[in-house]
């Protein structure tokens, strides 16, 4: 996904403040992540069987290249928040997933 596409999507929100822009970027990021999840062969099972969600998320979290993923979104994350992207990794997201179970 190109930065231009993200910028066009962000412009469609017509943000009036920095907070609105941050919220819009979070929504766009969620859309990108959900689109990536939809690329799998198992997305039908994923949606239809809620019991598979934690296991599927764990598989996705384990298989992602978190360094590359963080770099992909770095351009759309506010400069002040970019250091938090260095924390992204399998262990962080697996810990968060356990909190959801």
pLDDT in tens, 41-77: 565 555 556 566 788 889 999 999 999 999 889 889 8
**Helices marked H in the chain — which ranges?**
3-11, 18-37, 43-48, 53-63, 66-74, 90-100
pLDDT at 26: 84
- Supply the Cα-derived Rg of the chain in whole angstroms: 15
Which residue range(s) make up the domain with 12? 3-100
pLDDT grade, residue 39 (50/70/90)? low
Q: Report the percentage of the chain scoring pLDDT > 70.
A: 78
Whether pTM > 0.95 for this model: the answer is: no
Domain count across the chain: 1
């Amino acid at each position: 996904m190109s930065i231009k596409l993200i910028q066009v999507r962000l412009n469609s929100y017509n943000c009036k403040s920095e907070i609105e822009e941050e919220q819009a970027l979070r929504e766009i990021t969620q859309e990108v992540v959900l689109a990536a999840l939809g690329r799998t062969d198992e997305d039908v099972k994923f949606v239809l069987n809620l019991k598979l969600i934690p296991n599927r998320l764990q598989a996705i979290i384990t298989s992602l290249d978190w360094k590359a993923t963080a770099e992909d979104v770095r351009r759309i994350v506010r400069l002040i928040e970019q250091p938090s992207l260095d924390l992204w990794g399998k262990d962080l997201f697996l810990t968060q997933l356990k909190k959801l179970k």
